[in-house]
């Protein structure tokens, strides 16, 4: 995987998690689930490892990771109350 491919992958994941956050805000759990599957598929590429990035590319990756984590937090803020109200679905 090249450094350009690494950044492209993280940009795709950031875009998907942004769409997931929007779906969660709208209460569109079907769309959220669909996007979650796409995101998981995209993230599988990291299982084989990704090359280290330097300079501006490294900073871009850090920015993308921060976006992904912020989107994840927003998704959890919206979905956790619902998940905790469904028997057997409480997050650990």
Backbone angles phi, psi at 54, to 5 degrees: -125, 160
Which of these, 89, 91, 5, lies nearest to 45 by C-alpha position?
5
**What was the pLDDT predicted at 69?**
98
Q: Is 48 exposed, middle or buried (0-12, 13-18, 19+ CB in 10 A)?
A: exposed
Does CATH number 1.20.58.380 belong to domain 3-85? yes
In the chain, where the domains are located: 3-85
Q: Cα–Cα–Cα angle for 18, 23, 24, nearest 5°?
A: 95
**What pTM was estimated for this model as a whole?**
0.85
pLDDT tens digit at each of 92 positions of the chain? 889 999 999 999 999 999 999 999 999 999 999 999 999 998 887 777 888 899 999 999 999 999 999 999 999 999 888 777 767 665 55
pLDDT of amino acid 82: 77
């Amino acid at each position: 995987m090249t450094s350009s491919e690494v950044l492209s992958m993280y940009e795709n994941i950031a875009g998907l998690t942004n769409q997931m956050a929007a779906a969660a805000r709208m209460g569109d759990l079907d769309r959220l689930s669909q996007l979650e599957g796409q995101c998981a598929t995209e993230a599988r590429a990291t299982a084989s490892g990704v090359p280290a990035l330097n300079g501006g590319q490294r900073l871009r990756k850090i920015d993308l990771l921060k976006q992904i984590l912020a989107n994840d937090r927003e998704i959890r803020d919206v979905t956790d109350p619902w998940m905790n109200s469904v028997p057997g679905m409480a997050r650990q």
